[in-house]
C-alpha cells in the first residue's frame, strides 16, 4: 500500500505472515428465530391475519392500472349507475314529482351531467400539460418547464372548469318546464354557482402564484448548481469505469477502498478481528454476493420495464452511494487517483487521463482534467482529488437540505395564502346571499382599513421575509456567511427566520429575516478565490531594501511547488502608516486559490504562511518596533553610570548640538525663502512686508531702515 500511496500501480503484494491479506468483513446479526426467519416476520400487535387482495380486488386493481380511460371509467360508472336509478324513477314511476314547479327529471339529468362533467374537466386538466408542451415547444423549449406548473394545478383547474360547466348547464334543470325557470330555489342555485366560479378562480390564482414562485425560485437558485453537480458525477462515473477496467473490484491493490466505497463491510471491526488472529475469510465475499444478487434481480426487472432498476453494479449507483459519506468519498477519490496516476509519479497529468480513456476520447479527458485541476497549475494531487470528491458529496447533501427547507417555507406560504383566500370566500358568499351585508360593504371596508393599520407591522414583516427569502436569497443551507463581522454557518432556513451555527463557539443563533434584511451579509461559500491582508509593525529604521527583500522571500514561498496549489503568485506589501515615527506598519496582501468556506483548510494555509512570514523577517533581518537590540540591563547590554566634571559635560552637550546641527538638511538660521521655491517665497514675503508696514504706520521708503526682515522674525536656535 505504500507504493500505491506514492502513485505506483503495483500488480503484486508481498505477504510477510501466514495470515491472509486483510479483507473486508461484513457485519452479521444473529437471529433467535428458525432458519430463514427474521425479526421482521414477527409483527408486534398483529394477530397473524394476512392482508391480501381477493380475486375481485386483483381484478379491479388490474383495471385501475390498465390505462387512464379504464381508471376514470372505474370512478365514473359506479356512481353514474347509482344516479341513473332516481333518474329512471323520475321519468317513469314518479313522472309528476316536482321540486316547486320544476320536474325532478330535469334535476337528476343535470346531476348526472355534472358528475360526468367533473371527470371530463379533470381529464382536460390532466391533458393541458401535454398540449402546452406540444404547442409552446415549437416556439421555445425554455418555457416547457412551466408545464410542471400545469401538472401541479390539475385539481384547481378542474374545479374552475367544473364550476363554469355546472353554472352553464343549470338551465338543464328546467328543460321540461321553461315557464318556471325563474323559481326562487333555481335562482339561488345559479347564484351559488356564480359565486363558486369566482371562488374557484381565486383558488386557482393563489395556487398558480405559489407554483410560479416555486418554479422560478428553484430555476434561479438550483438549476445551475444541479447541472454542475450532474456533470461532475457523470465525470466521476467515467473515471470509475476506467479505474475498474484497469484494477477490477476488490483486487488486492484496492480491497479496502472498494469495501469503503460500496459500504458492505465493517472495516474497523474486521481489522480488530484480524489483529486478534481470527479468520474472517468466510465472510469476505458476502457483500459481493449481495450486490450480485441485487444486480441479477435488477437485470430481470430492467428487461421487463425497460428501465434501470436495482443496478447496484453500475458506476453511477456506486458513485452516488459513495458520495453519501465523507469516508466513502475519500476512498473513492483515492481509488480513482491511485489507479490513474503513472507509476513513480505523485501527481496526475492530463496525458494520464488520455492513456486510460483512449485517444478517441481525448476531448473528454481534457474536460475531466480541467474539472479536476481547480487551481490551474497543470497537475492534480491526491489532496486535491479528495477535496473535490468530498465537496461534491457535501454540496449534494447541503443542496438537498436547502431545497427541503425552501419547500417547507413555500408550503407555509401556501397555507397562509389559503387562509386569506378562505376569508375572501366567506366575504364573497356573504355578499352574494346577504343583501344587508352587501349594503354595509362601505362600513366593512372602513373596518378593514382600521384593521390593516393594526396589523400593518405584521404584514410588513411577512412581506419583507418573503422578499428576502424568495427574491434576494443571500444564502443556502451549509453556506459560510459573515453577518455583522460574525462568522456563521447556515443550518436551517424557514419562512420567517434562519438558524445559524457560530464558527467560533458552536452556538446556535436564530435571526429573523426582517432583521437580516437590514444587515450586511457576506457569503463566503459563494465567493471565488479570496485574498487576505495581514498587518505587521516593524522598526522605524527598516529600509526600503529590507521591505523589497521581504516581498521577494514571500514570492519565492508562494511560487514553490508545494505551495502553488494553495496560493496565487500575486503578493504585495504596502507601507500603511508611520505612526508616531517610532514604527512602520506594513500590510502583506496574499491571495488564496479558494475561498474561506473550509475553515480547516484556511487555517492550515494561513498557519503555514504566518510561519514563513516570521522566518523571512528573521532571515533578512527586520527588527521589531524599538529595534532588536537587547533591553537595557540585559547581559548583552549592561547598564552602568560614569561621573564626569561639569566642564566635560558642557563640552559633550556642545559637541552633540553641533553634530545635530550639522546633520540638518537646512541650518537652523535658514530663511523662509530658502525653504520654499522662488515663486512661493515671494508670494509670502511681499504681503508680510506690506502688513508690517501698515501696522507700524510708515511708508515703504522710510520704514526700510528700522523694519525687521522676515528672516529676523524667525526664531533662532541657540
Confirm whether 669 is domain-assigned: no
Query: Is the CB of residue 342 less than 8 Å from the CB of residue 356?
Result: no
Element (H, E) at 490: strand 486-493
pLDDT at 48 over 70: no
pLDDT at 694 over 80: no
Residue 348 DSSP class: B
Return the percent helix, strand and coil in the chain, to nearest 5. Answer: 60, 10, 30
Spatial distance between the Cα atoms of 168 and 176, rounded to a whole number of angstroms: 17
Rounded to the nearest angstrom, the gap between the alpha carbon of residue 171 and the centroid of all alpha carbons in its chain is 57
Say whether both 82 and 111 belong to one domain.
Answer: yes
Domain end position, chosen among 619, 654, 681: 619
463-472, 540-549, 670-679: lowest mean pLDDT where?
Answer: 670-679
Q: Where are the alpha helices (DSSP H) in 501-589?
A: 513-516, 544-559
The bridge status of strand 521-523 relative to strand 583-592 is: unpaired
Residue 173 DSSP class: G
Element (H, E) at 532: strand 531-539
Q: In the predicted model, what is the mean pLDDT of residues 230-256?
A: 85
Percent of the chain clearing pLDDT 90 (strictly above) = 14
> Which residues, at least 6 apart from 75, have a Cβ–Cβ distance to it below 8 Å?
119
Give the pLDDT band (50/70/90) at residue 685. low
Q: What is the mean pLDDT of the chain?
A: 77
pLDDT at 489: 93
pLDDT at 205 over 60: yes
Say whether both 60 and 170 belong to one domain.
Answer: yes
Confirm whether 409 is domain-assigned: no
Q: Quick check: helix, strand or coil at residue 266?
A: coil
- What's the structural domain count of the chain? 3
Could you identify the residue written with the cell 466505497?
Answer: 261
Q: Buried (b) or exposed (e) across 270-306, using 16+ Cβ within 10 A?
A: beeebeeeeebeebbebbbeebeeebeebeeeeeeee
Domain end position, chosen among 175, 205, 225: 175
Query: Is the CB of residue 329 less than 8 Å from the CB of residue 323?
Result: yes
Q: In the predicted model, what is the mean pLDDT of residues 302-306?
A: 47
3-state SS track over 377-436: CCCECHHHHHHHHHHHHHHHHHHHHHHHHHHHHHHHHHHHHHHHHHHHHHHHHHHHHCHH
32-36, 409-413, 584-588: lowest mean pLDDT where?
Answer: 32-36
Spatial distance between the Cα atoms of 383 and 347, rounded to a whole number of angstroms: 10
Spatial distance between the Cα atoms of 85 and 93, rounded to a whole number of angstroms: 11
Which cell goes with 623? 527588527
CA distances, 635 to each of 78, 626, 628, 630 (Å)? 109, 18, 15, 8
Find residue 481's DSSP bridge partners.
488, 523
Say whether both 513 and 598 belong to one domain.
Answer: no
Query: Is the CB of residue 508 less than 8 Å from the CB of residue 491?
Result: yes
Say whether both 125 and 66 belong to one domain.
Answer: yes
Say whether both 91 and 117 belong to one domain.
Answer: yes
Q: Quick check: helix, strand or coil at residue 320?
A: helix
Spatial distance between the Cα atoms of 454 and 120, rounded to a whole number of angstroms: 46
Could you identify the residue written with the cell 420567517?
Answer: 496
pLDDT at 96 over 90: no
CA distances, 716 to each of 650, 661, 670 (Å)? 21, 12, 9
Say whether both 502 and 537 belong to one domain.
Answer: no
Greatest Cα pair distance, the chain, in angstroms, is 149
Query: Is the CB of residue 347 less than 8 Å from the CB of residue 375?
Result: no
Q: Read off the CATH number of the domain in which 467 is found.
A: 2.30.30.60
Say whether both 79 and 163 belong to one domain.
Answer: yes
Q: Quick check: helix, strand or coil at residue 103?
A: strand
Top-confidence residue, 333 or 31: 333
Q: Quick check: helix, strand or coil at residue 229?
A: helix
pLDDT at 279 over 80: no
pLDDT at 20 over 60: no
pLDDT at 275: 56
Q: Quick check: helix, strand or coil at residue 207?
A: helix
Spatial distance between the Cα atoms of 608 and 565, rounded to a whole number of angstroms: 13
CA distances, 644 to each of 388, 614, 650, 658 (Å)? 76, 44, 10, 20
* Helices 223-246 and 315-322: angle between axes, nearest 10 degrees: 120
Confirm whether 693 is domain-assigned: no
Spatial distance between the Cα atoms of 610 and 244, rounded to a whole number of angstroms: 43
Q: In the predicted model, what is the mean pLDDT of residues 137-152?
A: 73
Top-confidence residue, 179 or 503: 503
Confirm whether 691 is domain-assigned: no
Confirm whether 141 is domain-assigned: yes
Give the structural domain span for 595.
Answer: 530-619
Q: Read off the CATH number of the domain in which 589 is found.
A: 3.30.70
Say whether both 163 and 106 belong to one domain.
Answer: yes
pLDDT at 624 over 60: yes
Rounded to the nearest angstrom, the gap between the alpha carbon of residue 312 and the centroid of all alpha carbons in its chain is 29
Say whether both 601 and 553 belong to one domain.
Answer: yes
Spatial distance between the Cα atoms of 118 and 199, rounded to a whole number of angstroms: 17
pLDDT at 21: 42
Starting at the edge strand that comes first in sequence, how are the strands of the sheet with 567-577 ordered?
531-539, 583-592, 567-577
Query: Is the CB of residue 253 less than 8 Å from the CB of residue 186?
Result: no
Say whether both 64 and 171 belong to one domain.
Answer: yes
Give the pLDDT band (50/70/90) at residue 490. very high
Say whether both 62 and 156 belong to one domain.
Answer: yes
Confirm whether 584 is domain-assigned: yes
Query: Is the CB of residue 467 less than 8 Å from the CB of residue 513?
Result: no
CA distances, 513 to each of 398, 473, 475, 658, 662 (Å)? 20, 10, 12, 71, 69
Confirm whether 705 is domain-assigned: no
Top-confidence residue, 435 or 334: 334
Long-range Cβ pairs for the range 82-89 (8 Å, 24+): 83/108, 83/111, 83/112, 83/115, 84/112, 87/112
Confirm whether 703 is domain-assigned: no
Say whether both 498 and 542 belong to one domain.
Answer: no
Q: In the predicted model, what is the mean pLDDT of residues 608-630?
A: 88
Domain end position, chosen among 602, 619, 636: 619
Closest to 550 (Cα-Cα) out of 565, 564, 539: 539
pLDDT at 24: 36
3-state SS track over 608-663: HHHHHHHHHHHHCCCCCCCCCCCCCCECCECCCCCCCCHHHHHHHHHHHHHHHHHH
Amino acid at each position: 500500500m505504500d507504493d500505491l500511496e506514492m502513485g505506483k500501480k503495483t500488480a503484486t503484494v508481498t505477504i510477510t505472515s501466514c495470515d491472509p491479506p486483510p479483507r473486508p468483513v461484513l457485519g452479521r446479526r444473529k437471529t433467535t428465530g428458525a432458519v430463514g426467519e427474521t425479526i421482521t416476520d414477527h409483527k408486534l400487535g398483529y394477530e397473524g391475519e394476512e392482508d391480501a387482495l381477493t380475486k375481485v380486488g386483483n381484478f379491479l386493481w388490474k383495471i385501475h392500472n390498465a390505462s387512464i380511460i379504464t381508471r376514470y371509467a372505474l370512478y365514473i360508472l359506479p356512481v353514474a349507475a347509482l344516479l341513473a336509478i332516481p333518474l329512471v324513477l323520475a321519468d317513469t314511476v314518479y313522472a309528476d314529482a316536482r321540486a316547486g314547479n320544476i320536474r325532478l327529471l330535469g334535476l337528476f339529468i343535470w346531476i348526472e351531467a355534472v358528475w360526468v362533467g367533473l371527470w371530463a374537466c379533470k381529464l382536460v386538466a390532466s391533458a393541458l400539460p401535454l398540449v402546452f408542451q406540444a404547442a409552446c415547444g415549437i416556439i421555445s423549449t425554455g418555457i416547457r418547464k412551466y408545464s410542471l406548473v400545469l401538472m401541479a394545478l390539475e385539481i384547481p383547474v378542474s374545479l374552475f372548469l367544473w364550476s363554469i360547466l355546472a353554472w352553464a348547464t343549470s338551465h338543464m334543470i328546467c328543460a321540461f318546464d321553461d315557464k318556471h325557470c325563474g323559481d326562487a330555489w333555481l335562482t339561488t342555485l345559479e347564484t351559488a354557482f356564480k359565486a363558486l366560479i369566482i371562488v374557484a378562480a381565486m383558488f386557482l390564482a393563489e395556487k398558480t402564484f405559489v407554483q410560479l414562485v416555486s418554479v422560478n425560485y428553484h430555476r434561479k437558485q438550483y438549476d445551475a448548481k444541479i447541472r454542475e453537480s450532474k456533470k461532475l458525477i457523470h465525470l466521476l462515473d467515467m473515471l470509475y469505469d476506467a479505474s475498474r477496467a484497469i484494477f477490477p473490484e476488490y483486487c488486492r491493490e484496492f480491497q479496502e477502498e472498494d469495501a469503503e466505497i460500496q459500504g458492505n463491510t465493517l472495516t474497523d471491526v474486521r481489522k480488530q478481528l484480524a489483529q486478534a488472529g481470527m479468520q474472517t475469510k468466510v465472510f469476505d465475499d458476502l457483500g459481493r454476493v449481495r450486490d450480485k444478487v441485487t444486480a441479477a434481480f435488477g437485470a430481470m426487472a430492467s428487461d421487463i420495464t425497460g428501465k434501470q432498476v436495482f443496478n447496484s453494479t453500475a458506476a453511477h449507483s456506486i458513485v452516488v452511494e459513495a458520495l453519501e459519506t465523507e469516508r466513502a468519498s475519500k476512498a473513492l477519490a483515492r481509488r480513482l487517483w491511485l489507479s490513474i496516476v503513472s507509476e513513480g509519479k505523485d501527481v496526475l497529468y492530463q496525458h494520464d487521463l488520455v492513456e486510460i480513456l483512449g485517444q478517441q476520447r481525448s476531448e473528454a479527458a481534457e474536460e475531466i482534467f480541467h474539472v479536476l485541476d481547480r487551481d490551474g497549475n497543470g497537475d492534480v494531487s491526491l489532496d486535491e482529488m479528495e477535496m473535490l470528491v468530498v465537496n461534491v458529496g457535501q454540496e449534494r447533501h447541503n443542496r438537498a437540505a436547502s431545497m427541503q427547507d425552501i419547500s417547507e417555507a413555500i408550503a407555509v406560504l401556501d397555507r397562509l395564502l389559503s387562509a386569506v383566500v378562505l376569508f375572501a370566500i366567506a366575504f364573497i358568499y356573504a355578499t352574494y346571499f346577504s343583501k344587508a351585508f352587501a349594503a354595509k360593504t362601505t362600513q366593512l371596508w372602513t373596518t378593514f382599513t382600521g384593521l390593516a393599520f393594526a396589523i400593518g407591522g405584521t404584514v410588513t414583516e411577512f412581506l419583507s421575509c418573503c422578499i428576502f427569502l424568495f427574491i434576494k436569497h443571500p444564502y443556502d443551507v451549509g453556506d459560510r456567511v459573515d453577518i455583522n463581522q460574525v462568522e456563521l454557518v447556515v443550518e436551517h432556513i424557514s419562512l420567517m427566520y434562519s438558524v445559524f451555527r457560530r464558527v467560533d463557539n458552536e452556538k446556535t443563533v436564530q435571526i429573523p429575516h426582517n432583521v437580516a434584511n437590514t444587515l450586511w451579509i457576506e457569503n463566503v461559500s459563494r465567493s471565488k478565490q479570496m485574498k487576505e491582508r495581514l498587518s505587521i509593525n516593524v522598526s522605524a529604521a527598516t529600509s526600503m531594501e529590507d521591505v523589497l527583500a521581504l516581498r521577494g522571500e514571500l514570492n519565492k514561498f508562494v511560487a514553490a511547488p508545494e505551495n502553488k496549489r494553495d496560493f496565487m503568485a500575486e503578493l504585495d506589501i504596502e507601507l500603511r502608516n508611520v505612526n508616531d515615527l517610532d514604527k512602520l506598519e506594513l500590510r502583506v496582501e496574499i491571495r488564496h486559490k479558494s475561498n474561506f468556506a473550509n475553515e480547516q483548510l484556511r487555517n492550515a494555509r494561513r498557519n503555514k504562511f504566518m510561519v514563513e512570514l516570521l522566518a523571512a523577517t528573521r532571515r533578512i533581518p527586520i527588527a521589531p518596533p524599538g529595534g532588536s537590540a537587547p533591553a537595557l540591563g540585559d547581559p548583552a547590554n549592561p547598564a552602568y553610570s560614569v561621573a564626569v566634571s561639569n566642564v566635560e559635560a558642557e563640552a559633550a552637550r556642545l559637541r552633540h548640538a553641533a553634530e545635530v546641527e550639522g546633520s540638518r538638511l537646512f541650518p537652523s538660521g535658514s530663511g523662509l525663502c530658502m525653504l520654499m521655491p522662488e515663486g512661493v517665497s515671494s508670494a509670502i514675503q511681499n504681503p508680510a512686508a506690506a502688513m508690517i508696514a501698515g501696522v507700524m504706520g510708515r511708508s515703504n521708503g522710510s520704514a526700510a531702515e528700522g523694519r525687521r526682515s522676515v528672516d529676523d522674525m524667525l526664531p533662532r536656535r541657540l
